[in-house]
Amino acid sequence: PDPTTYNFESFLSTYGLTNSSDLKFVKNKMVLRIDRTMGEAMKSLDWYESRIAKPEWAIEGLARVVYGDTSKRAKYFRNVA
């Protein structure tokens, strides 16, 4: 799917779910993707280009999304919900 248009509704549709699902991640609106940062070529995921060289960026990006810690770098991960 195109990362620039993929959202929570896209996720629900792809997996045959609804907003009223009892699944914890749907109720808590926590669906993570690795397309927050894009590579130099449009629509290429930076996750595949720099994550191995900079693993600390991945940890910061994950902490930002999971814990809502805006002091951490916005890298790789985004919550589509």
Instruction: Supply the pLDDT for residue 50.
Output: 78
How many residues appear in the chain?
81
More confident of the two residues 80 and 53: 80
Residue 4 has pLDDT above 90, yes or no: no
Bridge partner residues of 45 (DSSP): 38
pLDDT at 43 over 80: no
pTM of the full predicted structure? 0.80
**Separation between Cα atoms, residue 60 and residue 57, nearest integer Å:** 5
**Segment holding 13, helix H or strand E:** helix 8-14
Whether 10 shows a pLDDT value over 80: the answer reads yes
User: At 13, phi and psi to the nearest 5?
Assistant: -65, -45
